[in-house]
A and B are shown apart, each in its own frame.
Chain A
Amino acid sequence: MVDATVLQTLWFILIAVLWIGYLVLEGFDYGVAMLIPFLGKNDKERRVMVNTVGPVWDGNEVWLLTAGGATFAAFPAWYATLFSGLYLPLFLVLVGLIIRGVSFEYRSKHPDSKWRHTFDWMAATGSFIVSLVFGVGFANFILGLPVAADAKLTSLFVLEPRPYFWQLFSPFGLLGGVVLVALFLFHGSLYLSLKTKGELHDRAKGFAAKVGLVAIVGGAAFLIWQQFVHPTGLIGWGLLVLAALGLVSAWWFNNAGRDGIAFVSTAATILFVAVGIFTAMWPGLGFRDAAGAALSPLNVTTASSTPYTLTLMTVAAVIFVPIVLAYTTWTYWVFRRRLSIENIPDEVPATA
């Protein structure tokens, strides 16, 4: 059997990979959804927006579910303490995911404009809530959530003090939320300009040029601040530079009309930011000792499953992650064409 430390390290990296998959992919469909009420000037344009993400958003969300499942399986104590500790924020995430999840499906089912406005706003609001909460959440993982053993169930760690809610909204936490929303809006508007033609494309491009500046300024502030609240040395600064270059490159190439490179640049930015955050979460998993010890008592070693379980899961991941990546890539190939309002069929009159 492979050494436990190797397996634990591997699964920490794999969970980071799943999160990166989620943030890069679903990040743009959150961005698009948040923009539906603002960038689509008429129903056909809004339908174009919905159709750019329609075939892929649900698959994108599965990256989050897999990250959750993998955390449960590989680091049960991490899953247990995190999910119960951040009870209300996670509930907000669930509400966001629920109201946006049904919206894409249900908006199209009635041509009525009030009906569609309702679901457009639900999609936008849900996506906004989820982006904001995850932004605040990851900022707090960088700071470290304070944990201590429960008084009665002594093997279980709980956040200390309880309830741990208002403490999440420190200036750094709030900045994290705002920056992630801005980053997803930037990423999403670049996706839109990559996937559309005509007026909508130009509008998405124009919006990206504006929100890109917010993302650059906010992102830089957040990343620099991060190096002081939780220094990770040269690696941290290196990733900061890469992330900043990605943002600037996205902004530059968007203005230059190179939609593809611009979109890849924000994707790369999200990757570098996430790697930087997960680096800061090693080995304490985003926790710190409430009593002040240097190492969180809940960490990659103490939270992990047995080498037996981790080995089996590794086998499954080695086989199936490449398969999933292959058919996900194929989906994007199938729907590679840009869409415009010309492509959207009129409403089919109801047949009785």
Chain B
Amino acid sequence: MSAETLARWQFGITTVYHFLFVPITIALSLLVAVMQTIWVRTGAEKMLQLTKFFGKLFLINFAMGVVTGIVQEFQFGMNWSEYSRFVGDIFGAPLALEALLAFFLESVFLGIWIFGWDRLPKKVHLAMIWLAAIGTMISAVFILAANSWMQNPVGAKFNPATDRAEMTNLLTVLTNPVNLITLPHVLVAAYLTAGGLILGVSGWHLAKLGRSGELAGKQLDQRAAWTWATKFGAWVMIVAGVLSIATGDIQGKVVTAEQPIKMAAAEGLCNSTQSAGFSIVAFGVDCSKPDSGFAVTVPGVFSYLGKGDVNATMEGINDLNKKYATEGFTTNDLQVQAKDRLTAAGVTDFAPSIPVTFWSFRMMIALGMIGILIGLWALLATRKGRLPKGGKLWTAAMIAAPLAPLFANSFGWIMAEMGRQPFIVYGVLPVSAAWSPGVSAFEVGLTMVLYTLIYGALAVVEVGLLLHYIKLGLPDVEEPKVLTDDDAPLSFAY
């Protein structure tokens, strides 16, 4: 395998892996902050227990997000040095701002939150988790601005003297239409996932209590806590799920406008079609052969997804390929300027892989829908304070509650990033012209094997810890007090 292919796999593996921890970090930080806020306002012991319980799961997850995130920041330069040089004037700024505005906020205030229970008054301590949660969201704003720029490189021009893209307007970069819709979609998907984690864990405990016969003493308190958390998680899932459909719908229209060939590939649409249908399944579509493949299609729906009108014409891969070959990409200045370079680079097929985009798109939708349905079922099963009956299907649903939305996130990203192929900067810089020429296949291959081993081992440890603490259930808590005696034991320390 060439160094370039290996570098692509390495980016795929490390990025998908990193993003398994990101949604929980973004959303669970804020949901834990909500729990702690309710505790501070009401003094209800169960809310402190839930804060500490989900706080611990959050931290186990957060550690993985941090360490895998460092790899992300380094690997642009390591594996994609020509890309880094070419786009650094634009792409570097959001990364630097993310570190300065978001990472400091997250890390510093989370550190105080973890160790500060005995050091700070209640309300000040509460502010720490809110600040950390805000930090995670600011981080999303900048990294998605950077990613959206790769999808739709606005606010930049090509400078022949320096042979690179240069920023003309930061505001245009930040208000990129792709960014404005990707940001809310990614955020609500994160809440769908974290809501799923809260629901899954709580619903599982609730069903366990339901099997223990007559409840007494502590069990009644646990039942109250888990019931609250189950409903809370379910509501978060439902609201976030509905919003992810709404934002996803808008995003489909933005992508159709900015990257029509990505949408065409996600449907396997070879030729421009009026009132194009949405395929539930499709196999063997090959646009170089007429009428190839098999598909089960619902008429008009794809046109509606892309343009909000069942009668609209959706452009197909073949027609788009022809158009790009003659006119180049024309959505923004940088693309217009890049036309001759693309011709010189000999890029003729501008379409991403059909099966990858097609199936990742559908997996995202299906898994997200499953998440919403689980949320609805959980609400139904716990209405009027009932205990869910449990059973195999319930257990399966509780396991799927976090996992289905989590993998929906992964598939959404796979669609977005694979759908940008063959470009690293859409319509401007092909991936094949962006990697590090000084790095050998041996180096990339070696590090990829080692990353995989380390990440695999860490996954075992992380999942083991999560399951351990999930099974332990709610911790015993005592009201934290600010310590004044220097020799007194802390109520909590590592």
Residues in A lying within 8 Å of B, measured CB to CB: 47, 50-51, 54-59, 61-62, 65-66, 68-70, 72-77, 79-85, 87-88, 90-91, 93-95, 97-99, 101-102, 104-110, 150-153, 155-156, 158-159, 162-163, 305-306, 308-309, 312-313, 316-317, 320-321, 324, 327-328, 331, 334-335, 337-338, 340, 342-346, 348, 350-352
Q: Which of B96, B98, B114, B492 contacts A313 (CB 8 A)?
A: B96
Report the separation of the CA atoms of residues A236 and B95 in the bound assembly, to the nearest whole angstrom.
33
Interchain residue pairs with CB less than 8 A apart (12)? A51-B115, A69-B99, A72-B73, A87-B78, A155-B85, A158-B438, A163-B440, A312-B93, A328-B108, A331-B108, A344-B489, A348-B476
**From residue A252, how far is it (CB to closest CB) to chain B in Å?**
28
B:106-123 near A, CB below 8 Å: 107-112, 114-116, 119-120
Report the separation of the CA atoms of residues A162 and B166 in the bound assembly, to the nearest whole angstrom.
29
B494 near A107 with CB under 8 A, answer yes
Which of A58, A313, A335 has the most chain B CB within a 10 Å cutoff?
A58
A79 near B92 with CB under 8 A, answer yes
Who on chain B is nearest to A328 by CB?
B108
Report the separation of the CA atoms of residues A158 and B64 in the bound assembly, to the nearest whole angstrom.
32
Residues in B lying within 8 Å of A, measured CB to CB: 59-60, 62-64, 66-68, 70-71, 73-74, 76-79, 81-82, 84-85, 87-93, 95-101, 103-104, 107-112, 114-116, 119-120, 162-164, 166-168, 170, 433, 436-440, 443, 447, 450, 454, 458, 461, 465, 468-469, 471-476, 486-494
B77 near A80 with CB under 8 A, answer yes
Chain B residues, Cβ within 8 Å of A162: 438, 440
Report the separation of the CA atoms of residues A170 and B120 in the bound assembly, to the nearest whole angstrom.
50
B104 near A102 with CB under 8 A, answer no
A82 near B487 with CB under 8 A, answer no
A344 near B490 with CB under 8 A, answer yes
Report the separation of the CA atoms of residues A91 and B449 in the bound assembly, to the nearest whole angstrom.
12
Report the separation of the CA atoms of residues A305 and B473 in the bound assembly, to the nearest whole angstrom.
52
Report the separation of the CA atoms of residues A119 and B433 in the bound assembly, to the nearest whole angstrom.
41
Chain B residues, Cβ within 8 Å of A108: 494
**From residue A213, how far is it (CB to closest CB) to chain B in Å?**
32
**From residue B459, how far is it (CB to closest CB) to chain A in Å?**
11
Chain B residues, Cβ within 8 Å of A324: 100, 104, 108
Which of A84, A152, A317, A338 has the most chain B CB within a 10 Å cutoff?
A84
A72 near B77 with CB under 8 A, answer yes
Which of B93, B465, B476 has the most chain A CB within a 10 Å cutoff?
B93
- What 14 additional pairs, Cβ within 8 angstroms, besides A309-B89, A331-B112, A343-B493? A55-B115, A59-B108, A65-B103, A69-B96, A72-B84, A76-B85, A76-B89, A87-B443, A155-B162, A155-B163, A163-B443, A316-B100, A345-B492, A351-B472
Report the separation of the CA atoms of residues A342 and B487 in the bound assembly, to the nearest whole angstrom.
6
Report the separation of the CA atoms of residues A81 and B489 in the bound assembly, to the nearest whole angstrom.
51
Known: A83-B77, A87-B439, A312-B170. A321 touches B100 (CB 8 A): yes
Chain A residues, Cβ within 8 Å of B473: 351-352
B111 near A72 with CB under 8 A, answer no
A313 near B93 with CB under 8 A, answer yes
Known: A72-B84, A313-B93, A328-B108. A101 touches B63 (CB 8 A): yes
Report the separation of the CA atoms of residues A305 and B437 in the bound assembly, to the nearest whole angstrom.
22
Report the separation of the CA atoms of residues A257 and B431 in the bound assembly, to the nearest whole angstrom.
59
Who on chain B is nearest to A62 by CB?
B103
Q: Which of B81, B112, B433, B487 contacts A343 (CB 8 A)?
A: B487
Report the separation of the CA atoms of residues A102 and B461 in the bound assembly, to the nearest whole angstrom.
10
**From residue B171, how far is it (CB to closest CB) to chain A in Å?**
10
B111 near A102 with CB under 8 A, answer no
**From residue B414, how far is it (CB to closest CB) to chain A in Å?**
24
